[in-house]
Amino acid sequence: MYEKHMLLKEDIQSVVVDGVGTGFTVRLKIPYYRGVCLSLVEDLQVKFNGRVFPKEQLTFTVSGGTFTFAEMATMTQHRWEFGEKATVFVPLAGGIPLGYHRVEVTVAIRVSYMGGARPFTVALDGVSPMGG
Amino acid sequence: MGIRRSVSFYSYQQTYYTGRKDLRQLLEITSKIVGSPGVELIPEQMPVGEYPVPDDAAVDQWKGWLDEYALVPTCMDSFIDTMLYKDRYLTLKEQVGQMVRDLTLAKRLGFPVIRVLCPIRKEVVEASLDAAAKLDVKMGLEIHAPMTLRSRWTTEYMEMVRKSGSKHAGLIVDFGIFQMRPPRKALENALRAGAKPEILDRIRALQETHRPVAEMMGEIARLGGGDVERGVAASLARSIYSEPDWMRDYAESLFHCHGKFMEMDEDCRETGIDYETPFRVLKEIGYDGWVSSEYEGQRLYTGAEEPDEIEQVRRHHVMMRQLIGE
């Protein structure tokens, strides 16, 4: 169900500050059947037309704050709940250009009973700055 | 009292995840459409207020809903994140801390039993016995495939329980251990992807006699099957069968059951898991507890079609009523 429901095209949009695009945000749901505390989000990666943005370049907004991945590694009280949209900020200068683009998001949640992180990737084509 | 019907809200995960229904609506549906008297919850999936410590108002609201819809809380599913931190495992003391956290929440929400995930070590349950007794909430280790009722993990755990003399540790049986054949939908998916029907028949026959996946793979090769047929066999690798009769060994320690199911057909029959034999055994051993419907067929819907989780659960309860003789 995650392929279809964790990320929707309309949940990807440019961030504009004083008329200048500073990047874009991706609002996504967890690809796992339960919510987890943020320390269990082991990895996250966004690709925009093949350009890789590793987790060190992203921020994550959920559970009442905006955090870096270095911060999240020790966060055991703040949670990303099942079905809740977290907002990932991707620093793409200028924001999303006109046209249609491919966005791929990989999330790896550390699942203790599976012995480690389980990366899950979802890819969307036809992402435009107009949304949808 | 005998066997009573409950619903694990795990069954409704897609409905909740996609925002079509919230927790209150699902309680209402469980009561009015499914007609279940019992409810089982994964609070980390559908939190009551905030997990793990909801405020009193959220707990009061939860209890109000249970009253309004005449639902009995039956079991709460616990997880222990032994890999909470990237670079080390939790110590025993820390794992017990998580167990006590969930026992405490179960008590507040009215659940008499928590599901202990099958890979949790017996030492963690043992060190939590006093807390469970004080709170009077039971811990049931889940027997879930590929684990069996006679795995060493199960027998060593039960040895610990018997030695302790505790009435607060026991077992939860997941009906996935009684799977006899691939779910109908998995076979339909394979046929659509070009599988040969005669090879699927052979896989099905081998599973019905509990033959190992390696043997299925050999047969698939011999019969000229390909990736699709091998995929069906591979999907059964963890479906290790337990004899329902083996439940007799643990009659006094069976706290709860997960009525795992993958697909209920139009006549309200489970297409892959045996229910008649386990229900007969449960009756014979005088099981006095709940069986929660636990629908897990969502994962068989890979295309545009969406599962109807509520209808699947409703059909499962039609079947359970018949088996119980209600």
Q: How many CB pairs under 8 A join A and B?
A: 67
Q: What angle do CA B52, B58, B63 make, to 5 degrees?
A: 105
Minimum-distance CB partner of A110 among B18, B45, B83: B83
Q: With residue A14 as reference, give the H or E element that holds it.
A: strand A12-17
Task: Answer whether B84 sits within 8 Å of A39, measured CB to CB.
Answer: yes
User: A85 and chain B: CB distance < 8 Å anywhere?
Assistant: no
Distance CA A11, CA A26 (A): 6
- Of B229, B238, B146, B219, nearest in space to B187 by CA: B229
**pLDDT value at A131 more than 80:** no
Asked if A76 lies within 8 A of B84 by C-beta distance, the reply is: yes
Name every residue in B having a CB less than 8 A away from some CB of A.
Answer: 10, 13-14, 16-19, 42, 44-47, 51, 79-86, 117-119, 298-299, 301-302
Do the Cβ atoms of A103 and A47 come closer than 8 Å? yes
State phi, psi for B219 to the nearest 5 degrees: -65, -40
Q: Which domains does chain A have, with CATH numbers?
A: 2-127 (2.60.40)
With a cut of 90, say whether residue B268 has pLDDT above it: yes
Nearest to B84 by CA among A79, A110, A10: A110
Among A29, A78, A82, A118, the strongest candidate for a mutation testing the B interface, having the largest count of B CBs within 10 A, is A82
Which residues on neighbouring strands pair with residue B46, listed in sequence order?
A: none
* Interchain CB distance below 8 Å, B10 and A40: no
- DSSP alpha helix (H) spans, B193-308: 197-208, 213-222, 227-234, 276-284
**CA distances (Å), origin B32, targets A97, A124, B12, B26, B37:** 50, 39, 15, 10, 10
Instruction: Say if the Cβ atoms of A83 and B298 lie within 8 Å.
Output: no
What is the DSSP-derived secondary structure letter of residue A93? T
Find chain A residues with C-beta within 8 A of B147's C-beta. Answer: none
pLDDT of residue B1: 80
- ipTM value of the model? 0.96
B146 torsion bin: left (phi>0), alpha (psi -120 to 50), beta (else)? alpha
Q: Show Cβ contacts of residue B60 under 8 Å, excluding neighbours closer than 6 positions.
A: none
What is the average pLDDT across B209-213?
94
Phi-psi region of B19 (alpha: psi -120 to 50; beta: other; left: phi over 0): left
* Mean pLDDT in residue range A69-97: 97
Contact of B257 with B294, CB cutoff 8 Å: no
**What's the pLDDT score for residue A132?**
53
Q: What is the CA radius of gyration of chain B?
A: 20
Residue with tokens 């027997």: B143
Phi and psi at B196, nearest 5°, equal -85, 125
Fold of B3-179+241-324: TIM Barrel (3.20.20)
Average pLDDT over residues B288-293: 98
Q: Is the pLDDT of residue B250 over 60?
A: yes
CA-wise closest residue to A29 among A107, A124, A123: A107
Phi, then psi, of A124 in degrees rounded to 5: -125, 130
pLDDT category at B172 given cuts 50, 70, 90 is very high
Between CA B9 and CA B7 the distance in angstroms is 6
Q: What percent of chain B has pLDDT over 90?
A: 99
Burial of residue A110 (number of CB atoms within 10 Å: 0-12, 13-18, 19+)? buried
- CA of A39 to nearest chain B CA: how many angstroms apart? 6
Residue with the larger pLDDT of the pair B280 and A130: B280
pLDDT at B304: 87
For B35-94, give the DSSP string.
--SEEEE-TTTS-SSSSS---HHHHHHHHHHHHHTT-EEEEEE----TT-BTTBPPPHHH
Q: Is the peptide bond before B112 cis (omega within 30 degrees of 0)?
A: no
Is A5 close to B17, i.e. CB distance below 8 A? yes
A95 Cα to chain B: minimum distance (Å): 28
Domain boundaries, chain B: 3-179+241-324, 184-234
pLDDT of residue B51: 98
Pick from A86, A109, A35: which is nearest to B77 by CA?
A35
Contact A36 B80 (CB under 8 A): no
pLDDT tens for each residue of A91-121? 999 999 999 999 999 999 999 999 999 899 9
Q: Give chain A's largest Cα–Cα span.
A: 47
Percent of chain B with pLDDT strictly greater than 70: 100
User: A113 and B119 in contact by Cβ < 8 A?
Assistant: yes
Mean pLDDT of chain B: 97
Looking at residue A47, its amino acid is: K
Interface residue A63 vs chain B (CB under 8 A): no
Q: Could you report the per-residue pLDDT of B297-319, keeping only the tens digit for each? A: 999 998 889 999 999 999 999 99
How far apart CA B137 and CA B111 sit, in angstroms, is 7
State how far the Cα of B123 lies from the Cα of B117, in Å rounded to an integer: 13
Which residues contact residue B186 at a Cβ distance below 8 angstroms, ignoring those fewer than 6 apart? B232, B235, B262, B272, B300
Q: How far apart are the first and last CA of chain A?
A: 20
Q: Give helix then strand counts, H and E, for chain A.
A: 2, 11
pLDDT digits (tens, 9 = 90+) for A43-64: 999 999 999 999 999 999 999 9
- Residue B273 is classified by DSSP as B
Q: Which residues of B touch A41 (CB under 8 A)?
A: none
Element (H, E) at B99: helix B92-109
Is pLDDT of B56 > 80? yes
